[in-house]
């Protein structure tokens, strides 16, 4: 089994409120050692992470509007500009769920587009988090179509930090994939992906990227099993 092809699905993500500097250093070194696609950090740690992963091939990912997504559009745009100038390669932004639930779709679109303009200016990637557990299937499809219309690169399941949040499900990821893949977008799955079985199931359902803090454990699980999928 080629473990390296699976490592490239992983965005190594120690996104917890009390993440210490020593933890970030450890995660960065793990990302390099295991050739993960990216290292995801809160903006506070961009400078530190950038120094560690420089020239390693690991991308630097950070977050905008995290975790609730309801900042002013101008603030989100400025966040993206600042973080990209600091060296971020990818941005995971939270869609404005309040505006979406209120039917203010034009504002939702303006919000995503403002961040996307900053991302495109730096030739970076944008993933838009729609927080699927707060949405019905119909709303998931609608949100995915909005993200696709604006032209982001990925639609992402969730922040994984909300109180009482539930793990992402294979069925929802498949729904997202079926909605956006014909339009050229990809899907990032995150939220409680802690077992090799679920990891592989997410990939099989269409996820091109998986956000998790358990990447090393997932790869170890692959080494200890004969599971493999074609994609």
The catalytic residue positions are: 92, 156, 188
CA distance 167 to 155: 16
Reading the block at residue 230, the tokens are 């074609």
Helix or strand (DSSP H, E) at 217? helix 215-223
CA distance 40 to 90: 9
- Segments of 109-161 assigned E as strands: 125-129, 154-156
DSSP state, 25? Answer: H
Handedness of CA 40, 227, 174, 137 (dihedral sign): negative
| Contact in structure between 122 and 132 (CB atoms under 8 Å) | no
| Contact in structure between 39 and 53 (CB atoms under 8 Å) | yes
Number of neighbouring beta carbons within 10 Å of residue 122? 16
């Amino acid at each position: 089994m080629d473990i390296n092809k699976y490592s490239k699905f992983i965005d190594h993500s120690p996104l917890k409120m009390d993440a210490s500097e020593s933890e970030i250093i450890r995660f960065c070194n793990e990302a390099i050692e295991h050739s993960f696609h990216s290292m995801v950090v809160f903006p506070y740690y961009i400078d530190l992470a950038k120094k560690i992963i420089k020239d390693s091939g690991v991308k630097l990912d950070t977050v905008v509007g995290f975790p609730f997504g309801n900042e002013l559009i101008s603030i989100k745009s400025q966040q993206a500009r600042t973080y990209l100038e600091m060296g971020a390669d990818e941005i995971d932004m939270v869609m404005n769920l309040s505006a979406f639930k209120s039917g203010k779709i034009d504002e939702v679109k303006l919000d995503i587009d403002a961040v996307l303009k900053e991302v495109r200016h730096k030739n970076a990637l944008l993933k838009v988090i729609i927080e699927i557990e707060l949405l019905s299937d119909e709303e998931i499809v609608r949100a995915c179509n909005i993200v696709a219309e604006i032209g982001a690169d990925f639609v992402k399941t969730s922040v994984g930090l909300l109180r009482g949040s539930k793990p992402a499900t294979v069925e929802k990821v498949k729904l997202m994939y079926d909605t956006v893949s014909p339009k050229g977008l990809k899907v990032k799955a995150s939220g409680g992906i802690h077992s090799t079985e679920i990891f592989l199931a997410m990939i099989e359902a269409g996820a091109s990227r998986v956000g998790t803090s358990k990447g090393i454990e997932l790869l170890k699980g692959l080494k200890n099993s004969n599971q493999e999928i074609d994609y």
